[in-house]
Amino acid sequence: MKILNIDEKKLTAKLLERRLSNIGYHVTTVKNGKEAVEQLKVRKPNLVILDVNMSNFGGIDVLKFIKESGLDTKVMVISGEKEQALVSDLFEYGIDEYIKKPATLTEILIRINKLVGMSSLSDEFYQQNEEVVRELSIGVVIPCYNEASRLLSKSFVHFVSRNVGYYLCFVNDGSTDNTLEVLEEMKQGREDYIGVYNCDTNGGKAEAVRQGMLHLINDNDLALDYLGFLDADLSTDLNDFDDLVKTINLNNYKIVSGSRISRIGANISRESARQVISMSINYIIRKILGMNFKDTQCGAKILDREAVKTVFNEKFLTRWLFDVEIFLRMKKRYGMRAKEMIYEQPLKRWVHAEGSKLSMRDSLKIGTQLMKIAAHYK
């Protein structure tokens, strides 16, 4: 049985191709409608899988070609399309099955097998395909400096292997321990959704995040919808980060920033001395920004592609306070409208992790660095 899989999102396409091949299907994957038409002429597949929301020569054009050419092939659409009227139109175009993202990989494979079924699926199959295929592709930069002893590799692997559409880019920021070896080991066999970007020298968190974000946004194969960054110690966990993604996708924000605000029902644990310093620093930051954000320094943020290009194009002035510069660069680009484009979302959980790279001595230098930032962006 031959399947043509049309998907411009590499993260989804690679996984589906691999799983279908393991079952026994002959799968060809292409990333746009023009390539799909050429393959349809040559291969005459038993099943076409596509997303109607492709750019350029899109899914609807492929459906029209199939209908007009009289090809005897089943068609399954897997899409995050929310307009019910368009879904109804798809069946008018002759599709045989529609699956709305997010959907489990098990559901997708079962329906494929039902349409062009080759064989019954084993109990082992159901246990191995619990991943959720998402509507979006999300890239996450995790800066790492001497994290070998406390990197929670299992937590990262567990999350990303069950949430199809996430790509984790670990940036080794010139570590002097064996962080790079730990990252390469975590990546091995998972190259489709875990990457390692190595910086030979330590440039600080700001530059590590910037290099990672530029690396991801310039990777056209990944076709990422949103890009963000997260601390390696997982003081903000991945489920909370996923909530930030849901918020930016459902609204018109350009940046959604996590906030460590103590509130009922949230587990926010901060070292008392750091909390006092943080409150003082935040007061100064609010004055510099002219915006009433309660927590600019949380290490969990998600941005749309336009915001990434706006704020990460140039190097930051400081190694640690680049979050403030992100907000100021947005303000410089959009004026006071930036306040409406940045949303501060309270986290459900944030726990201070031992081994922070920002020392108390560094914290006491922050006032001078803030003055430098204020003068530069004025």
Closest CA to 153 of 113, 196, 114: 196
What digits encode the pLDDT tens for the residues 114-160? 898 766 666 666 666 678 888 899 999 999 999 999 998 999 999 99
Strands 74-79 and 47-50, bridge-based pairing: parallel
24: left (phi over 0), alpha (psi -120 to 50) or beta: left
Distance CA 255, CA 308 (A): 9
Angle between helix axes 205-217 and 322-334 (nearest 10 degrees) is: 50
- Cα(236)–Cα(368) distance, integer angstroms: 28
Look at residue 189 in the predicted model and tell me its pLDDT: 92
More confident residue, 15 or 353: 15
Amino acid at 60: I
CB proximity list for 178: less than 8 A, separation 6 or greater? 148
pLDDT at 83 over 90: no
Q: Give CA–CA dist 266/372, Å, rounded.
A: 35
Q: Mind listing the pLDDT tens digit for each residue in 173-192?
A: 999 999 999 999 999 999 99
Q: Cβ atoms within 10 A of the Cβ of 80, count?
A: 16
**Cα dihedral 242→244→250→253 (10° resolution):** -150
Taking the CA atoms of residue 268, residue 270, residue 275 and residue 281 in that order, the dihedral angle to the nearest 10 degrees is -70
